[in-house]
Structure 1
Amino acid sequence: MKNIFKSLSGLRQILSNVDLDQISKLSQKVDLPKMVNLVSKMSEEDLSKMMGMLKGGSKPKTIPPVNGDFYELGKTLPHHEREIQLRVREFMEREIKPIANHYWNRAEFPMQIIPKMAELDIAGLTYQGYGCPGHSPLLEGFIAMEMARIDTSISTFFGVQSGLAMGSIYLCGSEEQKKEWLPAMQKLEKIGAFGLTEPEVGSGVAGGLTTTCKREGDTWVINGQKKWIGNATFSDITIIWARDLDDQQVKGFIVRKDNPGFKAEKLEDKMALRTVQNALITMTNCEVPETDRLQEANSFRDTSKVLRMTRAGVAWQAVGCARGAYELALAYTNERKQFGRPIASFQLVQDLLVTMLGDLTAMQTMVFRLSEMQGDDILKDEHASLAKVFCTLRMRSIVDHARELFGGNGILLQHDIARFVADAEAVYSYEGTKEINSLIVGRAITGHSAFV
């Protein structure tokens, strides 16, 4: 009874602020004595709700923060590695996000970010010695994801430098070569590229490269072309893989940018990863000294060691690209209003977001385990290939749904999502197509090779 009088008193106070003319008009529409009688019979809970409405309505909705790590896998990292992950995230959001569309649209690379990226001390993250930090493959995966979450082009640049180029020297180089190149590359003082794919040979590189090499005394002579070689327009060195005319085995070489007979031309008019500077490399009697031949690269099996390691990184890139698209779409649905309410409040929109999040979470848990296997040294080609197949397929689906949620705005670069949609197509294709990676897994699970 006490609470009822308190509520009635509150109602009386509110009505006291209404002038007599308004009360007169209200009495013509509402039986005030009857209303007071009904109010006196209301429960305390209903009275409180009514008083809240009279005082200005319910509290504003608290919108949850945008976070694509729904199962909080990042929090499983050791504290010192978690700090590195978050430092990379802050760098990407502060230094890269504001300029990403500008450089992507102009197909130019922001050279000024290289010294700033070097300060993060993350190149060659998992390598031991030679100035490299020696962290876990799991942290390396999270960093690839964080970069691709903002800009897949920058993630690709870094993957070529830290993974393919440095990885080739780390896994296949002599001790002298490692000491000469890895410390400078770790500091990004020297930039590397990786030349395997050719104009007419992509998926079939294991079956026969058309780029050839032949030893003449202490010099190797290389002839042929390489295509889609990221970083190669401004790299200091390019790792070139060629078929030895004498034994037909694949050899690896550290080719310096000023080597005689070496020419790199920028590929124009790309629709994806436009910030990445891909090149067509032509080698005409390109001379490389024996000291720059990768001493531990004597067959394609050695090349595969590098690809196995970096293919896991591409799966993480796919996660990052998908996460970036999902988070953009989720934020947009709370900002975009139709029919007087945020589109995030509509059933079909929520269903689409949950579908995206489910796919993203499945991708994250898969690559998480993949990196654990890499750290335990039990990672095989088929493990990396399955992750590459699944994650790039789901990435494609997520960026497609994200663009759909943006409606017509999704094709405008200013909303970022168009860049993610385009870049996903490149990630889907490089480091082995879906079909080639599927055949690698198929061979492992059936015991039969279906390669031509």
Structure 2
Amino acid sequence: MSFEPLISDFYGFESALTEQEKDLLMELRYYLETEIKPIVNDHWERAEFIAPAVKGLAALGMFGLPWAETQRFPNSAVFRGWTALELARVDASVATLVGVQNGLVMGSVAVAGSPEQRAEWLPKFASGELLGAFGLTEPLSGSDSAQGLRTTATPDGDSWILNGAKRWIGNGSISDVTIIWAKSTEDGQVKGFLVPTSTPGYSATRIEGKQSLRIVQNADIVLDGVVVPETHRLQNANSFRDTAAVLRLTRAEVAWAAVGNAVGAYEAAVKYAGERVQFGKPIAAHQLVQELLAKSLGNITSSIALVTQVSTMLDEGRQRDEHSALAKEFTTSRMRETVAWCRELFGGNGIVLENDVIRHFADAEAIYSYEGTREMNTLIVGRAITGHAAFV
């Protein structure tokens, strides 16, 4: 399969990937274009999960790319960013599925699990045998999870008893296992647990009425006396710092997904501009339409440059919280502008799903907020700039 760069990669950043990485990216692109794109609007409209995507993406090796136990071949954080962009270019919900499974769930096990837990659980998640969810956010605790976590874990012999509630948990109503983060009643520290969703006392209810990332099955979760064995406690999760280490790895890929969502809207706009005729010529020949496209491409290009560098820093072991925070804040803000300009180009036709822009427009709102709001990421960067924390 020949390598063909995206029209939105104006400066050719993709060309820096290795041949092996390019080959897999093309395999992913072909799969998404032929298997997912034809059905995505229908599933989005019905808020229905695309179940075959789990096996399809697992067969490509999309789950487990960063981890030695499950990676298809040695690869870079920059390449993994490109896969997030590619996924979101076709559908941000599918990108979220991979981000949750590959980054948040498997990342929790890889970062905070023991070698034995990594060997036991990572292959099961990588193969798609198990679908995971990541339970951190709570009804009363989102941005202040570091201090405001209310879910408790009480030691009881060789087990732990979990009580509390979680909200906005992606894959939460369909997962086989959920990573639950809870505060120990013994030492007050945050700990992580692998909780099979069939465990008595665990219940998940899908959140209805969602108008962004509709394919993602977000859930409210209740934990009522859920008993989890010590063997299911992530052995190296001893404080919120360990939770934050997982988020640090995934936040940069969310920034890549934001770029991908903007790219999807931009590509739809370029195609439509070439086909739609008004005043006797394609609207692509009108100055103000070209201005919208040029501004969109500028946002996309600057964002690709930023996320490429932040992922390079991750590969080199130099990435810090403020680097991924700036990437997430900047790219989601530019994404929001871009999808609005692209939807504007369509006029009234832009609100119809079949024209492939309104879905990206709506999905941008969720990407803008999850895994750290613009405000919280701005304050992380502000602290790095000034040396002063201004969170409260």
Give me the TM-score of the superposition, normalised by structure 1.
0.84
Is the CA contact 1:122–1:133 (under 8 Å) kept in the aligned structure 2? no
**Maintained 8 Å contact 2:69/2:119:** no
Please state if 1:291 is matched with 2:231: yes
- Cα drift, residue 206 of structure 1: 0.9
Q: Superposition pairs for residues 372-391 of structure 1, below 5 Å?
A: 372-391=312-331
Aligned twin of 1:105: 45
Matched AA of 1:312: A
SS at match of 2:228: strand
Partner of 2:57 in structure 1? 117
Query: For residue 144 of structure 1, what is the aligned residue in structure 2?
Result: 84
Displacement of 1:133: 3.6
Q: 1:437 and 1:231 mapped to 2: Cα distance?
A: 24
1:232-261 deviation digits (Å, cap 9, x = unpaired): 212111000011112111010000111121
Residue of 141, 144, 150 corresponding to 1:204: 144
Ranked by relative contact order (alpha carbons within 8 Å, sequence separation 6 or more), the top structure is: 2
- After TM superposition, the structure 1 stretch with the greater mean CA deviation from structure 2, 393-402 or 212-221, is 212-221
* CA distance in 2 between partners of 1:101 and 1:337 (Å): 25
SS in structure 1 opposite 2:161? strand
Query: CA-to-partner distance for each residue in 1:259-278, whole Å, 9 max, x for gaps?
Result: 12111111111000000011
SS of 2:155's equivalent in the other structure is strand
Structure 1 distance, partners of 2:307, 2:177, is 30
DSSP 3-state at the match of 2:266: helix
Q: How does 1:77-96 map to 2 (within 5 A)?
A: 77-96=17-36
Change (3 A) 1:280 1:132: farther
Residues 132, 183 of structure 1: 8 Å contact kept: no
SS at match of 2:183: strand
Taking a change above 3 Å as real, the CA distance of residues 255 and 386 of structure 1, as seen in their structure-2 partners, is same
Q: Percent identity between the aligned chains?
A: 52
Q: Which runs of 5+ in 1 are unaligned?
A: 1-64
Name which of 355, 358, 367 aligns with 1:427. 367
| Max Rg structure | 1
Unmatched tracts of structure 2, length 5 or more: none
Superposition CA RMSD, Å: 1.1
* Equivalent residues of 1:66, 1:331 under 8 A apart: no
Q: How big is the shift at 1:208? A: 2.1
Distance 2:295 2:75 in 1: 34
Aligned residue for 1:309? 249
From 367, 370, 378, the counterpart of 2:307: 367
> Map of 1:51-62 to 2, 5 A cutoff?
none
Secondary structure of the equivalent of 2:144? helix
Corresponding residue of 1:409 = 349
Residues 66 and 327, structure 1, Cα contact 8 Å, conserved in 2: no
Q: What amino acid is the match of 2:316?
A: D
* TM-score normalized with structure 2 length: 0.97
Tell me, what secondary structure is at the counterpart of 1:128? Answer: coil
State the shift of 1:90 in Å. Answer: 1.0
Structure 1 residue matching 2:38: 3-state secondary structure: coil
The equivalent residue for 2:190 is 250
Could you tell me how far apart the structure 2 residues matched to 1:401 and 1:253 are? 43
Match of 2:280 in 1: 340
Does structure 2 conserve the Cα–Cα contact (< 8 Å) formed by 1:173 and 1:297? yes
Q: What is the number of equivalent residue pairs in this alignment?
A: 388
* Correspondence for 1:180 among 120, 140, 145: 120
Question: How far apart, in 1, do the equivalents of 2:240 and 2:389 lie?
Answer: 17
Q: What are the superposed Cα offsets for residues 330-381 of structure 1, whole Å, 9 maximum, x if unpaired?
A: 1110101100100000111111111110011000000011110010011100
Does the C-alpha gap of structure 1 residues 196 and 173 become closer, same or farther in structure 2, counting only changes over 3 Å? same
What is the CA distance between 1:66 and its match in structure 2?
7.1
2:105 matches 1:165: yes
Task: Write the distance in 2 (CA, Å) between the matches of 1:266 and 1:314.
Answer: 23
Tell me how far apart the structure 1 counterparts of residues 87 and 70 of structure 2 sit (CA, whole Å). Answer: 24
Residue 266 of structure 2 corresponds to 326
Q: Which moved more, 1:286-295 or 1:66-75?
A: 66-75
Structure-1 separation of matches of 2:69 and 2:158: 29
4+ residue runs over 2 A deviation: 129-134
Kindly provide the amino acid, as one letter, of the partner of residue 356 in structure 1: S
How far has the Cα of 1:187 moved from its partner?
A: 1.2
Give the letter for the 1:129 counterpart.
E
Q: Which amino acid aligns with 1:432?
A: G
User: Within 1, Cα distance between the matches of 2:59 and 2:196?
Assistant: 25
Q: Per-residue deviation at 1:121?
A: 1.3
